[in-house]
Amino acid sequence: MDMSSRLEVWQQLAESCGLSTLQQGLQQVWRLLLLCLICRLCFRLGGVSTVKHVVSALAGMYSLFLFFELHMMWVLLLSALCYLVLLLSRYSSSRGLFLSVVILIYLLTGELHLIDMVTWHKIRGSQMVVAMKAISLAFDLDRGAIGSLPSPAEFFGYILFVGTVVFGPWISFPTYKNAVEGKKLSWSWLQSSSLSLLKSQICLLVSTCIAPYLFPLFIPIHGNSVTYKWLRAYENAVSFHFSNYFVGHLSEGTSMLAGAGFTEEKDNIKWDMSVVKPLSVEMPRSMVLVVTSWNVPMSRWLKTYVFKNAMKLGTFAAILLTYSASALLHGLSFHLGAVLLSLGFITYVEHALRKKLAAIFSACILSRPCASDCSHQHKKEYWVMLLNVLFSLLTIFHLTYLGSMFDPGVDEQEVEEGYAAIHTIQRWSELNWASHWLVFACWVFYRLIQ
């Protein structure tokens, strides 16, 4: 395809896909953005704190109705159940664990017996945010980080906070309380919110209109039957990545617009909420950093409330339990469960192998960048940088393989109901289970040099 033909196709794609995608995206979120702004202004006007919490809860309920209509009742039911459990167990020292079990039973029962699959997948994100908020609150009460059980107004204002209840992200109870205080309106607040919303629309365009046509329309690379499969897999992975960045940046924008997501140093307020870090995923140093950059608040939540509590079982068991908890929060989806558990094994093997090699060579090749005053002898030699690049390419390979199943070209009904197990197996079989075999080989190599 010559350049003139390529430009003509790009123009047609921009007209047929780009404009309609942006229009549909704005139509879906403009009322949510307006609710966030109204909530922010109400917080700023001052008044009784109880009224602010009620406004937060009512705005969140209306936003749920806008997106899920009467199906929002399932989210409200989970919220009420969480508060009832916390109220009945207010004298217990194991509220976090008990509430986690109750929420898990509720989610499994709802998915398996009470709600049809399409509806459940639509409300799954909001259910997950509510569950994470309630569990974090329960554990914070257990450890004394929060002095007493919040009032009903405070609890439901937090759980149904309009800035996070639809698209996330998870925020802690103290973060919500800071938002309710109503920091003054500023140019930096508006600029940060608008920039995140702009980024979200750009990511939506890339996911929908660019990534599915990456090869050879945008990047003129052709290949045989084997390389074609991997090029298609990379397209699917990139499309899926940018759909996640879309949600992440959108949640940054809604959270900050509603008044959350700032850090305060003396009198200086920085609106710097970060949910996703695309560069750390697309140009990764390691799979460990990919996992933490994919959804920063959720990674922090899993580390604080799952991983640290499970460390008494050992590192590998804690990692496995953490990814299992993440899989269960995402629902009984075979493809997500398979990806998350595979990620658990990949990150563990990668971390262990790089830690061992760093010790053998005394080189800065750990999964995370070393501090400037680390004890390694070799820091910036060419062979050290080459090893880090090799591990980066290995991570991109794993991400391509894991993301190959998220095919934007499959039947829409299948996407709404969740990809079937046969879809996952078929996609990975087409790639000869290459990533799993490679992880196994790395593990064998690690055991040999241990």
Pairwise CA distance, residues 75 & 36, whole Å = 19
Pairwise CA distance, residues 185 & 192, whole Å = 12
Task: Kindly compute the dihedral angle of the four CA atoms of residues 67, 73, 74, 77, in this order, to the nearest 10 degrees.
Answer: 140
SS3 state of residue 268: strand
Burial class of residue 224, CB neighbours in 10 A (0-12, 13-18, 19+): exposed
Catalytic pick among 330, 335, 351, 398: 330
Q: List for the chain the helix, strand, coil content (%; round to 5).
A: 75, 0, 25
Residue in 187, 196, 167, 186 with CA at minimum distance from that of residue 273: 196
SS3 state of residue 2: coil
Residue in 22, 12, 407 with CA at minimum distance from that of residue 205: 22
The answer to whether 260 and 43 have CB atoms below 8 angstroms apart is no
Q: Is 330 a catalytic residue?
A: yes
Pairwise CA distance, residues 162 & 178, whole Å = 15
Could you tell me which residues are beta bridge partners of residue 270?
263
The answer to whether 102 and 54 have CB atoms below 8 angstroms apart is no
Backbone angles phi, psi at 405, to 5 degrees: -80, -20
Q: What tokens were used for 345?
A: 């094994």
Catalytic residue list: 330
